[in-house]
Structure 1
Amino acid sequence: METRDPASLPALTQDESIRYSRHLILPEVGPEGQRRLKAGRVLLVGAGGLGSPVAMYLAAAGVGTLGIVDFDVVDTTNLQRQVIHGTPDVGRPKLDSARDRIAGINPHVAVEGHPVRLTSANARQIVRGYDVVIDGTDNFPTRYLVNDACVLEGKPCVYGSILRWEGQASVFWGGRGPCYRCLFAEPPPPGEVPSCAEAGVLGVLPGIIGCVQALEAVKLLLGQGDSLIGRLLLFDALRLRFREMRLRRDPACPVCGDAPTIHELIDYERFCGYAPAEAVTENRMNDDVPEITPTELKERLDRGERLTIIDVREPFEWEIGNLEAHGARLIPLKQVPERMDEISPDEEIVLQCRSGARSAQALGFLRRHGYDRVLNLKGGILAWSDQVDPSIPKY
């Protein structure tokens, strides 16, 4: 991040001086620091759970330009934690909703929207135009992509991650400390780490971690304080405990090490073990996964065909809504290997989960063990609720 000459910093208007008066009397900020914030350009990758508090607090703090990368639309399930969006915004692009909320918080902040999927083809060009990048992503391919783009462009990446009741935060800055790859050289196998959609997340948690990210971004722009470079902050909300791990740069890191081998962005979906189609959406499976749609399944059940429906979700998900009325049985994904004797290979089996991702994993496992008559319910119970029985709650 370049240190700007104070003479080149934009002046504060009278309204801004009043708005930021509590900053101006802080010795670590003052008028010059506030002008640095006004000149600052921060890129938020994602306007979801983490991006919401980051965007709102950076806007309130007077960061002059916020770039937002997001191509998703607001869904009702987002509202429990993505507080930048409201009930009237359901169905709107998140970028539009976030832009309106930021304008309401601080009309002096410019929002640069990037309504695109961040890819290896556009990431460096987008990242290049900003001083600080905020990682608000929720999947491993994009997380590695953001990290590598920041290292190659020499930008600090303020990292955050949340799941269930736990969160993490750090600042990765290749050349000045470790990067994300120094901490996680290899991604976990697909499906090993559940998404928030599968495992859940406490609604307050992204507010806590997002505020830490916003704080780190402000400190970087001001050039004040001790940043989280070389430190990983761990937060346990259930026990209300913060812990810290020291991080070291890996000299063998392929992107920020002594002899880097990555000089351009790569195919991150394949690096993380995903087929390209899987990377687009968790609801889309590989072409070689035999599927049955909810309407097809309902028609076959109505004809009285003998089908064994196995629900591989967790017990608490089963309680939210299930297909027990159609003969479904619960065998959580992790229990499938030890309970195979409860699943007859002579029967035609339909595997089902929330959206189709976990059931596809169970299908692959059973096929490797000689089960040939196995189908995956396309779109899971969410699709069943949409296409067959809207009385089944969606979550």
Structure 2
Amino acid sequence: MTSINLRQGLSVLQPGKDLMIGLMPPAALAVEDAPDYLRHVLSAFSRPVPEAEALATVTAHSDLGVEEAGRLLSELRCAGVLTTHWVDREERYSRHRLYFGVAGFEGDPMAVIRNSTVGLIGTGGIGSNVAMMLAAAGVGRLVVADADVVETTNLTRQFLYTEGDVGTPKVEALARRVAERNTEVRVDVVNDVFDGPDFAVRHFADCDLVILSADTPQDVHRWLNEASVRTGVPYTCAGYLDTMGIVGPLVVPGRTACLECHFADTGLASFNGGDLETTDFTDYNQAYQAPSYGPLNAMVSAAAVNDTLRFLLGLPARSLGTKLLLDSIEYGVQTEEYERNAACGSCGTGGAGGTGLREEALSGAV
């Protein structure tokens, strides 16, 4: 039997004459000069009320007639204040259920999340933190690929690993740590080097989304883009340059621009007049070591996981077709939109992506 209740993630306060439902926009709303009965009606729905008794509950706590009570019920449900989903506060994922309810997801988010498979290429400062958050969120299956071992220099930012993991293959340490955190999550490990698009097709073709956080070799982005177009599997990128974090673009074949669309539009395919794949990127600083910073890694990882979960749930994902640049010093966000190119040789109507798109690949695109 269906019941109706006040959405548990929304507080109801009355500081004066106005009734505040929720604490912050966009979820919150204010009812100016709220009638006295409204807080009593909402309080009555703090527990599940059988749908057949909802009208009677409103009339019992107000001076409204049946027609007016029905209109109020309809308005409260349309505004997302009342819902048919009751959350057991003692259940493992209850706080996430409450969050997604306030964020606009109507239904059981865990029914989607626990049946999702996410691929991770790279399990370093971003990939390992992404894995930890996805596992904590209850994503049913992770496919993780990396050929590195844990080093002491990793421990400043790769929070999943411990000193006891030093010298252990990262994917093995990750699988063990995830199992300690959540036994409901299956982890498939690929202790091998990402060496081309066929690698991604072979290991990630059944994923709902792939997250790329590896930065070498230099062609990893183009390899994953090609594999994505071939299989229809969406992917996103997460990384950093100096003090700036990078999230996205989230690429959905057949819906958004792919990487080759962007290269064609910006002229990057002929970098400095040469072919991108043959251009010499020699760094003349022979002592160069890319800086990496734990808080920046955490910022990027959190943003990537947030958009991953939103995408899986069909909620708007800000990085869809867009690269986000996160400033770790000023906390500003810059965006770079990727425009789809119908003539793209990779995903356009004349390219490899013109056929074979998985229907379900668009399920999370909004």
Class of the TM-score when normalised by the shorter of the 2 chains: 0.5 to 0.7
Q: CA deviation at 1:262?
A: 8.0
Q: CA deviation digits over 1:79-105, x for unaligned, max 9? A: 222222121111000011111211122
Contact in 1 for aligned 2:229/2:353 (Cα 8 Å): no
Aligned counterpart, 2:301 = 210
1:98 & 1:251 partners in 2: Cα distance?
Answer: 40
Change (3 A) 1:17 1:68: farther
Q: CA deviation at 1:161?
A: 2.1
Contact in 1 for aligned 2:230/2:352 (Cα 8 Å): no
Q: CA deviation digits over 1:317-371, x for unaligned, max 9? A: xxxxxxxxxxxxxxxxxxxxxxxxxxxxxxxxxxxxxxxxxxxxxxxxxxxxxxx
Aligned counterpart, 1:363 = none
1:16 & 1:102 partners in 2: Cα distance?
Answer: 24
Whether 1:18 and 2:96 are equivalent positions in the alignment is no
Structure 1 vs Structure 2 CA RMSD? 2.8
Choose the corresponding residue for 1:131, options 170, 187, 208: 208
Change (3 A) 1:35 1:261: closer
The one of the two structures with greater contact order (alpha-carbon pairs below 8 A, sep at least 6) is 2
2:200 & 2:222 partners in 1: Cα distance?
Answer: 11
2:108 & 2:237 partners in 1: Cα distance?
Answer: 27
Q: CA deviation at 1:122?
A: 2.8
Deviates more, 1:193-202 or 1:253-262: 193-202
Change (3 A) 1:30 1:136: same
Aligned counterpart, 1:166 = 244
Runs of 4+ in 1 over 4 A off after TM superposition: 14-17, 192-197
**Counterpart code for 1:177:** T
Contact in 2 for aligned 1:158/1:216 (Cα 8 Å): no
2:323 & 2:287 partners in 1: Cα distance?
Answer: 21
Change (3 A) 1:114 1:15: farther
Choose the corresponding residue for 1:191, options 281, 284, 297: 281
1:132 & 1:124 partners in 2: Cα distance?
Answer: 13
Q: What aligned pairs does 1:323-338 form with structure 2 within 5 A after superposition?
A: none
Whether 1:182 and 2:261 are equivalent positions in the alignment is yes
1:124 & 1:65 partners in 2: Cα distance?
Answer: 17
1:228 & 1:154 partners in 2: Cα distance?
Answer: 18
**Counterpart code for 2:231:** E
SS at match of 1:122: helix
Aligned counterpart, 2:321 = 230
Q: CA deviation digits over 1:282-330, x for unaligned, max 9? A: xxxxxxxxxxxxxxxxxxxxxxxxxxxxxxxxxxxxxxxxxxxxxxxxx
**Amino-acid identity (%):** 30
Deviates more, 1:115-124 or 1:172-181: 115-124
Choose the corresponding residue for 1:81, options 148, 157, 161: 157
Aligned counterpart, 2:235 = 157
Aligned counterpart, 1:239 = 330
2:235 & 2:197 partners in 1: Cα distance?
Answer: 17
Unpaired segments ≥5 residues, structure 2:
1-86, 270-275, 355-366
Aligned counterpart, 1:52 = 128
Choose the corresponding residue for 1:106, options 150, 173, 182: 182
Change (3 A) 1:214 1:70: same
Q: CA deviation digits over 1:50-89, x for unaligned, max 9? A: 1022101111111000110112111122222222212111
1:236 & 1:64 partners in 2: Cα distance?
Answer: 32
2:337 & 2:130 partners in 1: Cα distance?
Answer: 24
2:154 & 2:340 partners in 1: Cα distance?
Answer: 36
Q: What aligned pairs does 1:288-307 form with structure 2 within 5 A after superposition?
A: none
- TM-score computed with the length of structure 1 as normaliser: 0.58
Contact in 1 for aligned 2:324/2:334 (Cα 8 Å): yes
Q: CA deviation at 1:239?
A: 2.6
1:225 & 1:250 partners in 2: Cα distance?
Answer: 22
Q: CA deviation digits over 1:14-56, x for unaligned, max 9? A: 9997110112334244663211100000000111111022101
Contact in 2 for aligned 1:252/1:259 (Cα 8 Å): yes
Whether 1:147 and 2:225 are equivalent positions in the alignment is yes
Q: CA deviation at 1:124?
A: 0.8
1:114 & 1:211 partners in 2: Cα distance?
Answer: 23
1:169 & 1:157 partners in 2: Cα distance?
Answer: 11
Contact in 1 for aligned 2:254/2:353 (Cα 8 Å): no
